[in-house]
Amino acid sequence: MFMLLFLSLITFVLANLVMIISSILSKKMILDREKASPYECGFDPKESARLPFSLRFFLIAVIFLIFDVEITLLLPIASTLSITNIFAWASTGTLFLIILLIGLYYEWIQGALEWSS
């Protein structure tokens, strides 16, 4: 018990030490307006260097990524059929699919799946 507590404490201290050292080393010491601005042949830029980004496209991409990860979580369910109890296998798979369908239905009702509004 004490060994586990000791190892947890060492892990916590090392993780915090690494984060503190990396934040100290990554600080920019000199903030210069010229270095922070986009370079355009020595002239001041005519317009903003940042292009407008479609928030709708970003939301669709995030939803696709979430469902892609969920598919990778569903694939091992089929391969575990032979080594598990059929009731536990069916209930786990059904519960997971119901949660996915509720999430899809919620996104559909909220209008997140509409490309144009």
Give the CATH number of the domain where residue 92 resides.
1.20.58
Total domain count, the chain: 1
**Residue-number span of the structural domain to which 11 is assigned:** 2-110
Residue 115, in any domain of the structure: no
Residue 37, in any domain of the structure: yes
Residue 42, Ramachandran bin (φ over 0: left; ψ between -120 and 50: alpha; else beta): left
Do residues 96 and 74 touch, judged by C-beta distance below 8 A? yes
Q: pLDDT tens, position by position, for the chain (117 residues)?
A: 788 899 999 999 999 999 999 888 876 656 666 666 666 566 666 666 667 777 778 888 888 888 888 888 888 888 888 888 889 888 988 998 899 899 889 988 988 777 766
> Which residues partner with 43 through β-bridges?
40
> Which residues partner with 40 through β-bridges?
43
Residue 97, in any domain of the structure: yes
User: In 48-94, which ranges are E strands?
Assistant: none
The DSSP secondary-structure symbol of 83 reads G
pTM for the structure as a whole: 0.49
Element counts in the chain: helices (H) and strands (E):
4, 0
Residue 72, in any domain of the structure: yes
